[in-house]
Structure 1
Amino acid sequence: MTMKSPQPAKLHGYGVRWDTEARCYRVRNEMTGQWLRSAATGELASFTFFSDAWSAWKVFEVHKRPGEQ
């Protein structure tokens, strides 16, 4: 699937987003607007489990979030 827009449509959530069409989680750096992509293929990274996507997001978007010290 080729994405023409830098931000896939129909995704909701903060950082970790559910892609309703692909039926998987996607990860976005909310500070830069950049989407996490596969290093091997360059395609948007996809995750079956929220916990895996959350872990990837915590590494991908490195900054203090509300409530963190």
Structure 2
Amino acid sequence: MVDVQVPRLHGYGVRWDPEGRCYRVRNETTGEWLCQPAGERSGFASFGAAFSAWRAFEVHKRPGER
């Protein structure tokens, strides 16, 4: 099944949502969106804040890790 949100959002992991006028965070490994405790998708005003949240949300291998 295709995620209908993908064509409207741009980027990888951190995506700009033009309708919400904010950045959204997605775990590209699982396809899961970062959500608030109430269940709605988290939105970030700055790319830096969204990128920091994405790094914590999606596990990445660091340089030198196997």
Compute the TM-score of the two structures, normalised by the length of structure 1. Answer: 0.80
Q: Which runs of 5+ in 1 are unaligned?
A: none
RMSD: 1.7
SS of 2:33's equivalent in the other structure is coil
Distance 2:18 2:55 in 1: 22
2:16 equivalent among 12, 15, 18: 18
Residue identity opposite 2:44 in structure 1: F
Q: How many residues matched?
A: 61
- Residue aligning to 2:39: 42
Tell me: CA distance 1:7–1:27, structure 2 relative to 1, closer, same or farther (3 Å): farther
Q: Which of structure 1's runs of 4+ aligned residues deviate more than 4 A? A: none
Q: Structure 2: how far apart are the matches of 1:25 and 1:7?
A: 17
Q: Considering fraction of residues, name the structure with more helix.
A: 2
